[in-house]
Amino acid sequence: MTQFTLIKPVLKVCSLILLVFGLMMTVPLLMAIIYHTGNTAAFSNAIALTVGLAAAGWLLSRSHRINMLTPRQMFLITTTSWVLISLTGALPFLLIPGFCDITDAVFESVSGLTTTGSTVLIGLDTMAHDILVWRSMLQWVGGLGVIGMAVAILPFLKVGGMRLFQTESSDWSDKAMPRSRTMVTMIIYVYIILTFLCTLAFMFTGMDGFHAVNHAMTTISTGGYSTSDSSFAQFADLGSHWVAITFMILGALPFAIYVHFLVKRNWRVFNDHQIRGFLLTILIISIIITLHLMSETGIDLLHAFTYATFNLVSVITTTGFASGDYSQWGNLAVAAFFFAMFIGGCSGSTSGGIKIFRFQLLFMMMQESIVRAVHPRAMIRRHYNGRAVDDSIVLSAVTFIFIMLLSLVVIT
């Protein structure tokens, strides 16, 4: 088997992803035409380049039928597709005359697709609607891609303890392919439905349609891009904050749980060790920050609890929305937010961070070490959500935590 034969499935899948991504640019293109922003040529050329590249890849690999993907091919598909859509996602920014240079364009695209939320753009309040929509769409697509990797790819590659969540959706053999497609399709449906519900909820609090759609896309994806330089501080109504809190949390829960609920129609599927730990962490830290904020600033309970919970959920889900400068809330609040930043949401969600389940496995290992110190001959069976946890899973999770913290130290 030649190297090109091995690469053909990678090329075919990446071409399909790129084609869909290119066609999505028609949405901001239509907005550029409707609002006469002058960016029609930029989006048209970006679509032509992206679709043209996808077509070239498809022609080279069209004769190949995808039956079974190897770990090596899955790894190549993941990395190659993310690089390709990151570069092509930067084209609209780059092709608008005088808008930004190539570094800023790629940064904005990568930040959006990885749902990081950092931005180099200023003047968002007066920026053209088509550009703002494209930024939001980048995060929305990126959030869906993060879920897809967490549910269908990382367990297959056995990365960072993710084998603990391996299901039929992460089995890419010929026999399991239909089940994999069904799982991924249902997750897409859930993602779209949650985005729609979030949009309606924002509009109910008084947001206009444009701001509601944009913030719904960046809320459910836990991305954090906004239509204003002041982020969520532009909305004085507390109702919009609670809508954002609700859907940031929903975006940070395992999307496979939603699918299981739709299939089984049983609320017990939400009795998940990850979910319980995640929600309990939010509740405890929110109460601590609320009491601290009331004592420091003297504001009432409702506003204190709203601002504390909003900013905490934004940080712990790695969304990045801000309703104010919480660095002015005192050292306790800053320390709590700093700690929460590393936790992240649940596995199989749109959120970033280390993920709550890895900390739970770490605490499980620490507890086991204490028990063994007291009872050296004790027979201990590890279980997580009813599944046996072997040493390789714990080691993989601990290694992931170590590498992430080491990377932070090196970068800092």
**CA–CA dist 372, 30 (Å, integer):** 65
**CA–CA dist 184, 172 (Å, integer):** 12
Question: Band of the pLDDT at 377, cuts 50, 70, 90?
Answer: confident
Of 88-102, 171-185, 218-232, 313-327, least confident by mean pLDDT is 171-185
Is the pLDDT at 406 greater than 50? The verdict is yes
What separation in angstroms does the CA of 146 have from each of 112, 286, 294? 12, 27, 37
Q: Work out the average pLDDT over 315-329.
A: 90
Note if the pTM is more than 0.95.
no
The length of the chain is 412
- Which helix H or strand E contains 383, and what residues bound it? strand 383-384
Question: Are the C-beta atoms of residues 275 and 254 closer than 8 Å to each other?
Answer: yes
Could you tell me which residues come within 8 angstroms of residue 169 by beta carbon, excluding any fewer than 6 positions away?
A: 151, 152, 179, 180, 183, 184, 256
Tokens of 92: 């609209």
- To the nearest 5 percent, what fractions of the chain are helix, strand and coil? 75, 0, 25
**CA–CA dist 53, 47 (Å, integer):** 10
Q: Percentage of residues in the chain with pLDDT exceeding 90? A: 52
Q: Work out the average pLDDT over 119-136.
A: 95
| More confident call, 342 vs 216 | 216
Q: How far apart are the first and last CA of the chain?
A: 45
Angle (CA) 41 192 265, round 5°: 170
**CA–CA dist 217, 306 (Å, integer):** 22
The pLDDT assigned to 10 comes to: 85
**CA–CA dist 169, 257 (Å, integer):** 13
Is the pLDDT at 166 greater than 60? The verdict is no
| More confident call, 226 vs 388 | 226
Question: Band of the pLDDT at 176, cuts 50, 70, 90?
Answer: very low
Return the closest-CA partner of residue 6 out of 54, 95, 74. Answer: 74
Within the chain, how many helices (H) and strands (E) appear?
A: 17, 2
Is the pLDDT at 290 greater than 50? The verdict is yes
Q: Work out the average pLDDT over 366-395.
A: 79
Amino acid letter, 410: V
pLDDT tens-digit map of 248-261 = 999 999 998 898 88
The pLDDT assigned to 180 comes to: 63
The phi, psi pair for 388, rounded to 5°, reads -70, 140
